[in-house]
Structure 1
Amino acid sequence: MPANVAIQGFRGSFHEVAARQYFGAAPALLPCATFGAVVAGVLSGAADAGLMAIENSLVGSIMPNFALLERAALRISGEVYLPIQQHLLALPGTTLADVQAVHSHPMALRQCGGFLGQHPHWQLIETDDTGHSAERLAQAQTPAVAVVAGRQAAELFGLAVLVPDIHDDPLNYTRFLVLERQLPASDPASGANKASLYFYTPHQPGSLARVLTEVARHGLNLSKLESVPRLGQPWHYAFHADVEFEEPTQFAALLTALPQYTEALRVLGTYWRGIMNEE
C-alpha cells in the first residue's frame, strides 16, 4: 500500500473519490494542478503512486494523457471505473435566475453540454478542477456563479445542489489509471488479466490489421484502441491498445508474436480489470 498518492485535482474532486475507492483511507493524497504534475510526482518519488483519468464514457479519451504515458517511464498497475454524477452547485439560496456564470473543469462542462446549452446566456468558465471550483465559490460567496461538480464537493464546502444530475447520460463513467514507477524485470502477465500496449507498425497497407488479427488469434479481447500522432512524422500514427485475457499464457504468446508485425512495442502495464459498479 503506498504511503501517498498523487492525484490531478483537489479536495472534493472525482480524482479524490476514485483514489479512495481504489486505495482506501490510509494513503495521503497529494493534489496536483495538472496531469503532468501527477506524472512528475511519481517519477521523482514525491509520490509512491499516481491516479490519472484517461477516458470518459460521454466525451471520450483525454488525448494528452496518452502522450504522458508514452513518454514517461511509468507502469500502469491498476484501473478504476467511477460513476460520475455531475450537479449544478451554488450558494444556498441561489436560484437559476441568479446564475450568470458556471465554472468547472472542461471535461465536466463537456459532460453536461445538453443542460448547459439550454442556458445560452450563461458564461462557461473552464477551471483546473471541479472540487477546486466549488471551494473557490464557497470562499468568494459570489451569488451569480454556479459550478459543475459532484455531491461530495457540495457537502465538503457547504454548497446547495441547485440542479441534480445534469450530465448528458445517466451511465456516465470515468476510467482512471493507477501509475507507479517501473520495477525491475518481472513476469509481465503474472496475476493480471488486462494489459496496456503502445506500438507502431510499418506505414503500409494492412499492417495494423495484421496486429489485430494476432490479438484475435490468441483469444484476447481488444477493449481499447487509440491512435496518436508520431512526433516528427506527420500523418504517421502509433497506437495505444488495451487487451483483456483469461490466462497469462495468452498474453505471453501475443507478445512473442507481435514483434514481427510492429516496428516498436512496449508494455505499459499489466493489471486486474476494473469493475463498473453503479451507485
Structure 2
Amino acid sequence: MAKKKKLSIAIQGIATSFHEVAALTYFNEPIDTIECLSFHRLCESLKNGEADYAVMAIENSIAGSILPNYFLLQEYHFSIIGELYLPIHMHLLTLPGVKLSEITTIESHPMAIRQCAEYLHALKNVEIRESDDTALSAKRVKEMKLKTTAAIANEHAAKKYGLQILEKRIETHKKNFTRFLVLTKRSHDKKESNKASLSFEVANEVGSLADALMTFKNNSINLTKIQSIPIIGKPSEYSIHIDVEWKRRKQYDDAMHQVLLQVKNLNVLGEYKKGKIEYK
C-alpha cells in the first residue's frame, strides 16, 4: 500500500512559529512546512506550486488587521478554504540564567511587539527591535548567544532552542487570538460553508455602501468584518472587504444576487466553514 504523501504548507516564519502551530492545528495530520520569511514569499510559494496550501495571518484581537495581507489577497486571487482562530500566548525568552535587569534589547515580529505593547512600554532603557519572525528571534538569541537580548515568542520556540521563559504571558490582553486564513489555488467543495469573504467597490455617492450592507441585513446575513483598502492609483477610492455568515445558504445566495446589482467588481475570496474561537 502506497504511503500517503504529506501536504506541503507554506507558512510565514520558521519551525515553532505561530504560523506553524496554526498549520498543524488546522490540518491535524503530519505536514511538510515551507518556511517563508515574508508574506509575499508565502504567496509566491503557493503560486509557483511549491506548496499545496498556505496559512496566512489576517488579524489579531489586540494588534488588529494585517492590512498588507489584504492587498496580497487581491493581487494573487487565491481561494480561502478555511479559517482558524489560534489562542496566542507571548513569552519573553532568554538564554538560561539571564535576569531581566541584564536585558538591553527585545526583538520579535512587529505584530508580536504590538500585542505586548503595554508590557514593553513599562520597561526602562530597553531597545525594541523588529524581526521577520518570532521563532527566528528565539533562534538568533540561542545561536548567537545573545546574553543581553530577549525574544518574544511561544513556548514551542523556548523548548526547541533551549531558552528559559523569563516572563510568561506578556500579551496586553489574556484573551488574545490571531485569525489565520487557509489558502489554495484550487477550487473546492462548498457544501458545508457558512461563511464567506468578499471584496467589492461602490460608487463614491452618499449611501452607496450603506445600501449594499443593508441588502445583507435584509436577508438575515450577519456581517462579522468590514475593512476598507485604498485602491492604488485611485485617490479617495477604496475596495471594501467584508466577512459574512449565514444559517441558510439560500439567504446568502439571494443577498449575493441583489448585491451584484449594487456594487462593482464583486469578488468572492472564499466560501468556507466558520472557525471556532476557544480561549485557553
TM category, shorter: over 0.9
The answer to whether residue 36 in structure 2 is matched with residue 35 in structure 1 is no
In the other structure, the counterpart of 1:57 is 61
Structure 1 outlier segments of 4+, above 6 Å: none
In 2, are the aligned partners of 1:2 and 1:49 still within 8 Å (CA)? no
The answer to whether residue 14 in structure 2 is matched with residue 10 in structure 1 is yes
Deviation per CA, 1:97-133: give whole Å up to 9, x if none. 1100001001101110111111131011100000011
What aligned pairs does 1:12-27 form with structure 2 within 5 A after superposition?
12-27=16-31
In 2, are the aligned partners of 1:196 and 1:269 still within 8 Å (CA)? yes
In the other structure, the counterpart of 2:236 is 235
What aligned pairs does 1:227-266 form with structure 2 within 5 A after superposition?
227-266=228-267
In the other structure, the counterpart of 2:196 is 195
* Equivalent position to 1:160, from 157, 164, 167: 164
The answer to whether residue 92 in structure 2 is matched with residue 88 in structure 1 is yes
What aligned pairs does 1:200-219 form with structure 2 within 5 A after superposition?
200-219=201-220
**For structure 2, which runs of at least 5 residues remain unmatched after alignment?**
none
Amino acid at match of 2:198: L
In the other structure, the counterpart of 1:177 is 181
In 2, are the aligned partners of 1:77 and 1:270 still within 8 Å (CA)? yes
Amino acid at match of 1:4: S
The answer to whether residue 104 in structure 2 is matched with residue 100 in structure 1 is yes
In 2, are the aligned partners of 1:73 and 1:182 still within 8 Å (CA)? no
In the other structure, the counterpart of 1:78 is 82
CA distance in 2, matches of 1:116, 1:204: 44
User: Structure 2 vs 1, CA of residues 102 and 120 (structure 1 numbering), >3 Å: closer, same or farther?
Assistant: same
**For structure 1, which runs of at least 5 residues remain unmatched after alignment?**
none
The answer to whether residue 132 in structure 2 is matched with residue 128 in structure 1 is yes
Q: Once structures 1 and 2 are overlaid, which stretch shifts more, 78-87 or 231-240?
A: 231-240
CA distance in 2, matches of 1:75, 1:39: 12
CA distance in 2, matches of 1:2, 1:69: 25
Where 1:255 maps in the other structure, the secondary structure is: helix
Q: CA deviation at 1:201?
A: 0.5
Instruction: Please report the RMSD computed on the Cα atoms of aligned residues, expressed in angstroms.
Output: 1.3
Where 1:65 maps in the other structure, the secondary structure is: helix
Q: CA deviation at 1:190?
A: 2.4
For this pair of structures, how many residues does the alignment match? 276
Q: CA deviation at 1:88?
A: 0.6
In 2, are the aligned partners of 1:57 and 1:174 still within 8 Å (CA)? yes
In 2, are the aligned partners of 1:228 and 1:238 still within 8 Å (CA)? yes
Deviation per CA, 1:217-249: give whole Å up to 9, x if none. 111110000000011110111110000011221
Where 1:97 maps in the other structure, the secondary structure is: helix
The answer to whether residue 262 in structure 2 is matched with residue 272 in structure 1 is no
In the other structure, the counterpart of 1:224 is 225
CA distance in 2, matches of 1:121, 1:182: 50
CA distance in 1, matches of 2:6, 2:67: 27
CA distance in 2, matches of 1:264, 1:142: 51
Q: CA deviation at 1:182?
A: 3.7
